[in-house]
Structure 1
């Protein structure tokens, strides 16, 4: 006699598997009920899935969407001599589009464009997006950034748009698009804007009308966000996450001092010459700041050190591409409660790393560059094993060399020393490679035997990812599909 769990219990259990897509895929094969529950969860945030960047998944998604199109859309494509194969001639088991909570018009365009349909690309995109517009009754996230991917759907007839909480868009989209959004969406909690031109009045109105804006991302390569700064100040007390990406030296950023409730701050400029103005921020106190990320170019180290002196006590995460010994030495003094750290150490600075581990007892994760001119893996392994605290559990190593291979002796010695620690936490060792990611470990048979041995003993977990993948994880909700 079999026992079937109630549907509400299964739903609750499967919700915990939302981030574990591989397990959910296996649940699809159990029975129809399990399949239906799993499919709903898998398709809910289908565009956020890591597997979307694989080779096979995009093709299968497009084929499934084509199969789900209403008959009038299929007839229209057929009349225009557009033929895209579907998984089966039978009708789809589920109305997949209705399950989605995220709509990425940019990614749909990329999927269709990859099939080289030439003049038919826009028509296919239009029909797929119109299907989503009619089927999604509670849209949470919309990604629409490239003005060249203009689609013909009407926001007033998009029933789920009023529930929108997250918007990723380009300033160059039509003013009519922003007008209707401003009429229908007043509860956006997250807005990301890529500026290719100055902000229109309709875009300004959309930002102004939001009731509880918490996250703001501004990216500027050619356009300017300076015209919307007065509007942004209206939300200075509610915004807790601010991310600025720019190469435009004419943009103002003194307004940042008004955002006193910031919890996360990303300050990314490719041209370091404009950082002189950062000295205005070094004395500002952000009492709730927990995450500070300054990738690429960094302001003068003395400015950052003063900023950390004023704001480092509550920091849980600090990442910067800076390689200044004075700044590195100041980190354990000003940021004793860090949980995650990335800072560059040069060759011979293992004593600085040691000091950080000794004084930052809450540190759980660190990313370190190794290779020519930087610390060797052997130095890093020895320092981590001997001086990291009981809380430490994740080591990320980045090495841009295509030929370098970690010494088998150093690798096994590290695993043995880690296992001999009083703390028996599972260690996650993440290898980040610019190119040829497998050469670093996998081209050495002895290394692979060592890794398998200590994985089976439950001592270590190994991740091997590209620099691009790691960057994507760092900027988890910064999707500008250009």
Structure 2
């Protein structure tokens, strides 16, 4: 008789399975089915990120009918009285209470599946959509005491405006275990009031600021948190985070990650210095001028625990960043700077000796600078390059990586800004040099494709060489789109 592994062991194993494998596990026996269902329904909304709109519509209809089958009788009666008839997969009760397995509640995605599944588009029928949304929210919040993430972040979702939804469905709901909230600043203040009654343990708070005054209830929710660690503020088209800054002071010692993104360079940055325990900072501003001047207020701020600094868009004055690195560069492990400046690049070599990952842009006359970074940053593990027009060539990069990259280096990312000119013999010489290194760690070679340009893998001879060294364990090889690169 075959031995059955305990449920906790199976659960540990299934956590590592891909989605298609989990679907296969559904058919083995009831125990395997239950464990797989728990994992698949943990974030049921995730399906929409990787499939076509047509397939999304089919999946949305199936999720919608399953959720309707799980609704309490009272909610089903409300829908029936309003002539909302949604077919269910079977006339029998559901095998599981699927909403109880969900760790993620996305009101945006609830609106999406209802919009797709009910196909109610006319303005006179939108109240029916809102009615279904309300009943679903009540079901998720009443039947699930272990929600971890709540997303409600758009001011107009699939023909349903934020204020169309009834916030009484959150009344009395215990969201004590909620750890992530992603929201918009202009949601009805009643929503924030209801949430603030029990939700005090957020670890991550992401707010999209709209061009309207911030409610006192949102400020109160921010102030009521006990251990906020990750803060993400986004302000576009007139949005402004200034009104909440006084509410953030309480979290000056707990906050470890801060992401700020905006198209308004006038928004204040000096408050960032109030969080001395920050470990990760990203400043993504789609504007120059004033933003650069605002960064001046941070150039002498001290962050003794800072490990990651990302400035992926418009860049402040390099002088300010260099002053910042003089104080904080020693502990940095990752830098992402979308900037072309040789003085700044040389300062990284001097001031950031403990870097493990780096992305900066090297002009075609900065080969010595790259060599200096490799020789100075001896813990470097990964680097990303732009290649092409007025930039270093692939051949130059490969030669420097083979000769000067430190012992722990293992990941090379190449993003072409013009068509690749790398010859097969140049690529093979690099692999031969890598194979002969003292360190026997395999190289992860990642090509990030630009839709306008051909990269090195377009050459069939290059791919033959890559596959040969891949099969022999010298390299790992991947091709990614720019949008899929996490740098």
TM bucket by the smaller chain?
0.7 to 0.9
Correspondence for 1:277 among 269, 290, 294: 294
Report what 1:304 is aligned to.
321
Secondary structure in structure 1 of the residue aligned to 2:206:
strand
Secondary structure in structure 2 of the residue aligned to 1:312:
helix
Which gives a bigger RCO, structure 1 or 2 (Cα 8 Å, sep 6+)? 1
Comparing 32-41 and 191-200, the one that deviates more: 32-41
How far does residue 318 in structure 1 lie from its aligned partner after superposition?
Answer: 0.9
Give the total of aligned pairs: 467
Change (3 A) 1:161 1:421: same
Q: Distance in 2 between matches of 1:99 and 1:25?
A: 16
How far does residue 75 in structure 1 lie from its aligned partner after superposition?
Answer: 7.8
Q: Distance in 2 between matches of 1:85 and 1:354?
A: 65
Report what 2:141 is aligned to.
133
CA-based RMSD of the aligned residues comes to: 2.9
Secondary structure in structure 2 of the residue aligned to 1:272:
coil
Q: Distance in 2 between matches of 1:299 and 1:5?
A: 57
Report what 2:43 is aligned to.
45
How far does residue 336 in structure 1 lie from its aligned partner after superposition?
Answer: 0.7
How far does residue 292 in structure 1 lie from its aligned partner after superposition?
Answer: 0.7
1:54 matches 2:51: yes
Report what 1:447 is aligned to.
462
Comparing 123-132 and 2-11, the one that deviates more: 123-132
Tell me the alpha carbon deviations over residues 204-227 of structure 1, each in whole angstroms, 9 at most, x when there is no partner: 111111111111111111221111
How far does residue 110 in structure 1 lie from its aligned partner after superposition?
Answer: 3.9
Report what 2:121 is aligned to.
118
Unaligned 5+ segments in structure 2 are none
1:456 matches 2:471: yes
User: 8 Å contact 2:181–2:202 — kept in the other structure?
Assistant: yes
Report what 2:107 is aligned to.
105
Secondary structure in structure 1 of the residue aligned to 2:197:
helix
Aligned pairs (5 A) from 1:378-393: 378-393=395-410
Tell me the alpha carbon deviations over residues 375-394 of structure 1, each in whole angstroms, 9 at most, x when there is no partner: 11111122112211121111
Change (3 A) 1:58 1:394: farther
Tell me the alpha carbon deviations over residues 289-326 of structure 1, each in whole angstroms, 9 at most, x when there is no partner: 11111111111111111111100111111111011000
Secondary structure in structure 2 of the residue aligned to 1:327:
helix
Secondary structure in structure 1 of the residue aligned to 2:192:
helix
User: 8 Å contact 1:97–1:136 — kept in the other structure?
Assistant: yes
Q: Distance in 2 between matches of 1:443 and 1:129?
A: 49
How far does residue 139 in structure 1 lie from its aligned partner after superposition?
Answer: 0.8
User: 8 Å contact 1:405–1:444 — kept in the other structure?
Assistant: no
Aligned pairs (5 A) from 1:415-454: 415-435=431-451, 439-441=454-456, 443-454=458-469
Report what 1:321 is aligned to.
338
Q: Distance in 2 between matches of 1:11 and 1:466?
A: 33
Q: Distance in 2 between matches of 1:327 and 1:231?
A: 35
User: 8 Å contact 2:167–2:190 — kept in the other structure?
Assistant: no
Report what 1:354 is aligned to.
371
Correspondence for 2:150 among 138, 142, 148: 142
Comparing 51-60 and 312-321, the one that deviates more: 51-60
Change (3 A) 1:171 1:60: same
Q: Distance in 1 between matches of 2:208 and 2:121?
A: 27
1:96 matches 2:93: no
User: 8 Å contact 2:381–2:410 — kept in the other structure?
Assistant: yes
Secondary structure in structure 2 of the residue aligned to 1:463:
strand
Correspondence for 2:225 among 198, 207, 210: 210
Change (3 A) 1:113 1:427: farther
Secondary structure in structure 2 of the residue aligned to 1:138:
coil
Unaligned 5+ segments in structure 1 are 475-482
Q: Distance in 2 between matches of 1:202 and 1:141?
A: 20
Report what 2:245 is aligned to.
229
Report what 1:338 is aligned to.
355
Tell me the alpha carbon deviations over residues 237-262 of structure 1, each in whole angstroms, 9 at most, x when there is no partner: 11111111112233222111111111
Change (3 A) 1:158 1:376: farther
